[in-house]
Structure 1
Amino acid sequence: MRFSTIFLGILSSAILPTAYANNFIDDSQLSLTARNFYFDRDYKQGDPVPAARDWAQGFIFKANSGYTPGTVGFGLDILALAGFNLLGSHADDYAGSGLLPVGQDNEHLDQYGELRWTAKAKWEDSTLHIGTLAPMFPVLFSSPARLFQQNYRGAHLQFNEIDHLSINAIYVDRVNQRDSTNFEHIRLGNPNGRFDQPAEASGLHMLGADYKVNAQISTQLYHADLHEVYQQNFVGIKTRHDIGIGNLLSDIRLFVSHDSGEARAGEIDNQHLGGIFGLQRGNQTFSVGYMQSFGDTALPTLAGAEPAVFLDSMSADFTNKDEKVYHIRYDYDFKNTRFNGLKFMTRYSKGTDIDLPQFGRDDFEQKAWDVDLTYRVPTGKLEGLGVRTRFTHYRNNMPATGMAFRSDNETRVNIDYTWKFK
């Protein structure tokens, strides 16, 4: 008998009539992920704190039920998280990295945990989820870049009744940050004082759609409203075409943002356009990209999250006011070789003409060189074991004091293994 059947069978017997319990555990899934994460951001500008450094062990337990029978089926998903500090009191000598909660006097907690739930319903191919959400959309992006993923509290309706079209409507009113166990108000991210003042909102609603035109072209159209702070529209298109010598790839993204309602953060006016184009030939992909911010402010994003631009840099976001970003990237996938499961990526990015109004200059620059090496065991008893090592050499000529992004050498190593109980 499957372990997931036993677990969800006990749960279902407590909350459902017997007639529904067997169906409730059909298609259930139960998994436990062990994640070991080392984070070292070594500052290079004479910072009073030498680095942001943590080493933590996390456990992520997911119990996802099936649905009860009938026109509308009901189910329940449970998420349990537990994190442990492996550096002990030595972590208190460094700035917080986002892996662990940090208390008074920069004390990094030795352990923390939380339990979350999501109720769900399904009819035909469409679903409704209420409770803990981890949305991954261009205008509402739940950051997965630390020990645990950022999540939100709210409702998500997904309509999937038309072929190749997925429509998503979301309302969220609280956020649980990556290094926290508490839900808090959703806030505008304001690194380097980009906007007139910090701002929080009563909630955010989002509406959008993904449409796959054909096997070569997919599109996205989204709108979000952070109440009384800003509205943001997004248009994206991804393509893949065989041109004989390989596959030509493209990913183009446009964000248009402006302040709304009470404009609690002050003026927001930004149009951010970015595109990356690549040639995939065999196991290799070579890409070049460009991004630019237009308008009177930087691109607005939510606090604790990364902007969903094509450049997912570790040490900076490259979305400042008036910034122009040049990007070159190389990927190699070792599939169909003796090193199957291994992937390598390196890239160089440079941002110029950065305007930081609080410093009265519009000529700042930043640059980053990144290396990413990932290996996932493809077969055998350790299938699914993954190791990822990332390094970035990041430099800018911005003032060091009070800046969110400072010159650094950053290393991240995480080891993941997931047990799926059957």
Structure 2
Amino acid sequence: MNNKNTAFLLSSALMSLVVENAGASNIHDYDRTNNDGKFNVYMRAVHIDTRIENDLIDRFGGFPFGDRLGGTALGLVADYNSGYWLDSIGFDASLYGVAKLDARPENRDLFDDTSGESEGFAKLGQANIKLRHVGENWSALLQTGRGRFDAGTVVTLDTRAVPGSLQGTRGQLQIEGLDIGPLPGVLSVDGAYFNRVSPRDRKDFEHIRSNGGFEIDDIQTFSIGYDAKLFALKFAQGVAKDFNRNTSYTLTLRAPLGERGGAIFETQYYDFRRDGDIWERDWLSGNAGYDDKANWLNLNLGLQIDHWSFGLSYSKTRAELSNGMLGYAFFDHGENVDGLMDAWTRSGNDFNNDGETTWQLAGKYEFDGKSLAGIPLDGFNIMALFKRGRFDADDPFSGMRTDVTESQAEYRLNYRFEEKDYQGVSVGVIYTRYWIDQDFVALVSAQPNNVVNGKEIRVYVDYAF
């Protein structure tokens, strides 16, 4: 099962469709109650219980870390986001803390285990100066220091006890008034430079590292997008120095369906390439995802009808690896940096093996406006997802090229309390079952933890003071 699960991030991107306010289903969004000039404190209890199995590996002695992964943690985030003095300068600061309530040797990225022990930690998660200038039809923002920065092809994940952090500089520019007839057009440009990272499960800000452990000096990334409501275009590119170059192209088409519905069609194409000798060293040590280049095509259709939302997705991956292992589309810029991957078929296991074709169907129902025994159900939603991928792999025992099918079923329940006495409390439960019909794939895959049968339960409780 993939240790870089972005299930919560996908749920908002997948099912929000053309609805602008989808925050109620996104229980990990710390900014949902964030106000300029106020000090905000958020607490999260998270429990992850993952059980994996593979009959073939069991015959060779089993998994070295056992077949049960996860733990229970309590996280605390204290945020201060200042207003802008003279409407131009301010600062952000955050303290993160994670307490261990329970942990197993493989704790699913909940605790800092850089010392070999699963322990809690505390750190200065954010400390950055921000500058802003607002013109008649445009605005510009610059931040430098440590922060939860999303820019270009890099994203800050927030799917554990506390979010990760990046160190560097990010700039954003937005220009309004670039209309096409009656369509209001907005141009957005952002760029960033990062040279340190503090992942969501670690205390220190550390060098960016490749999968083989080699240091990467920095990441430079940018994106440019144009949104005219009925359609949107976006181009993004990022370069990890001497390691890789990732590029994405996105076309989005939107259409209203009556007063309470809409449709969206989105095409995303990702191009990944080696870009230096660090990638070559990873390849030689057997830690590369592909030889020279990989790509991932993702087509998505979404519909919203009143309280119901549906999504249908297709993806195709190419990631040839000629060192005898099964390649995959590596979309990060390092082992400890998370790449921005908005493909709808990325949830839980990534289904991004070389030659893989994947279909996904998802449905969601929001209970806003409904009640049960007089209790309002605003903020309550349920979601179900099924995904199936097919690809070929070489069976090391028979020497034959073999058809492989992997599948995933996932069920999610989220509830954000709207009642006055409980405002700020959100709960979420995710149950995932993953299975693959050929156990040998875990022996030949360049991402073996991503291709073993398993079940997982996650429980989140957030409280915004």
- State the SS of the aligned residue for 2:449: coil
| Structure 2 counterparts to residues 340-359 of structure 1, below 5 A | 340-355=378-393
Q: Which residue of 2 aligns with 1:276?
A: 300
Amino acid in the other structure paired with 1:394: Y
Q: Which residue of 1 aligns with 2:271?
A: 256
1:414 aligns with 2:460: yes
Q: Please point out which of 408, 415, 418 is paired with 1:368.
A: 408
Alpha-carbon separation, structure 1, partners of 2:363 and 2:131 = 43
| Structure 2 counterparts to residues 269-418 of structure 1, below 5 A | 269-296=293-320, 298-302=328-332, 303-304=335-336, 305=338, 307-314=341-348, 316-338=349-371, 339-355=377-393, 363-396=403-436, 397-399=438-440, 400=442, 403-405=448-450, 406-418=452-464
Question: Displacement, 1:268?
Answer: 2.8
| Structure 2 counterparts to residues 44-63 of structure 1, below 5 A | 44-45=53-54, 46=58, 47-48=62-63, 49-63=66-80
Q: Which residue of 1 aligns with 2:85?
A: 68
Q: Which residue of 2 aligns with 1:22?
A: none
Amino acid in the other structure paired with 1:229: F
The answer on whether the counterparts of 2:76 and 2:98 sit within 8 Å (CA) in structure 1 is: yes
Q: Any unmatched runs of 5+ in structure 2?
A: 1-34, 178-185, 284-290, 322-327, 372-376
Q: Which residue of 1 aligns with 2:111?
A: 100
Alpha-carbon separation, structure 1, partners of 2:369 and 2:198 = 41
1:263-313 per-residue CA deviation (whole Å, 9 max, x = no partner) reads: 444433112100221222111122211001135353222224364322342
Amino acid in the other structure paired with 1:117: A
Q: Which residue of 2 aligns with 1:3?
A: none
Q: Which residue of 2 aligns with 1:234?
A: 248
Alpha-carbon separation, structure 2, partners of 1:355 and 1:205 = 35
Moved more, 396-405 or 340-349: 396-405
The answer on whether the counterparts of 1:199 and 1:229 sit within 8 Å (CA) in structure 2 is: no
- State the SS of the aligned residue for 1:404: helix
Question: Displacement, 1:100?
Answer: 0.9
The 3 A distance-change label for structure 1 pair 371 and 272 is same
* TM-score normalised by L of structure 2: 0.75
Question: Displacement, 1:363?
Answer: 3.5
Alpha-carbon separation, structure 2, partners of 1:250 and 1:291 = 14
Amino acid in the other structure paired with 1:318: F
Moved more, 197-206 or 275-284: 197-206
Q: Which residue of 1 aligns with 2:42?
A: 33
The 3 A distance-change label for structure 1 pair 27 and 179 is closer
The answer on whether the counterparts of 1:276 and 1:288 sit within 8 Å (CA) in structure 2 is: yes
- State the SS of the aligned residue for 2:111: coil
Alpha-carbon separation, structure 2, partners of 1:137 and 1:289 = 25
1:166 aligns with 2:188: yes
Amino acid in the other structure paired with 1:319: N
Q: Which residue of 2 aligns with 1:120?
A: 130
Amino acid in the other structure paired with 2:70: R
Amino acid in the other structure paired with 2:390: T
- State the SS of the aligned residue for 1:98: coil
The 3 A distance-change label for structure 1 pair 280 and 208 is same
Question: Displacement, 1:243?
Answer: 4.4
Alpha-carbon separation, structure 2, partners of 1:311 and 1:328 = 9
The answer on whether the counterparts of 1:294 and 1:322 sit within 8 Å (CA) in structure 2 is: yes
Amino acid in the other structure paired with 1:351: G
Please identify which structure carries the higher strand content.
Answer: 1
Question: Displacement, 1:357?
Answer: 10
Question: Displacement, 1:414?
Answer: 0.5
Q: Which has the higher contact order (CA 8 A, sep 6+)?
A: 2
Amino acid in the other structure paired with 2:128: T
Q: Which residue of 1 aligns with 2:233?
A: 219
- State the SS of the aligned residue for 1:144: coil
Alpha-carbon separation, structure 2, partners of 1:238 and 1:30 = 37
The answer on whether the counterparts of 2:318 and 2:353 sit within 8 Å (CA) in structure 1 is: no
Question: Displacement, 1:371?
Answer: 0.4
Question: Displacement, 1:382?
Answer: 1.3
Question: Displacement, 1:207?
Answer: 1.2
Question: Displacement, 1:381?
Answer: 2.3
The answer on whether the counterparts of 1:268 and 1:300 sit within 8 Å (CA) in structure 2 is: no
The 3 A distance-change label for structure 1 pair 201 and 398 is farther
Count of residue pairs brought into register by the alignment: 377
Q: Any unmatched runs of 5+ in structure 1?
A: 1-25, 191-196
- State the SS of the aligned residue for 1:86: strand
The 3 A distance-change label for structure 1 pair 356 and 102 is farther
The 3 A distance-change label for structure 1 pair 346 and 221 is same
Question: Displacement, 1:134?
Answer: 2.2
Moved more, 118-127 or 53-62: 118-127
1:339-377 per-residue CA deviation (whole Å, 9 max, x = no partner) reads: 221111101111111557999756433211000100001
Alpha-carbon separation, structure 1, partners of 2:132 and 2:192 = 16
Over the residues paired in the alignment, what is the CA RMSD in angstroms? 2.5
Question: Displacement, 1:126?
Answer: 0.9
Amino acid in the other structure paired with 2:342: A
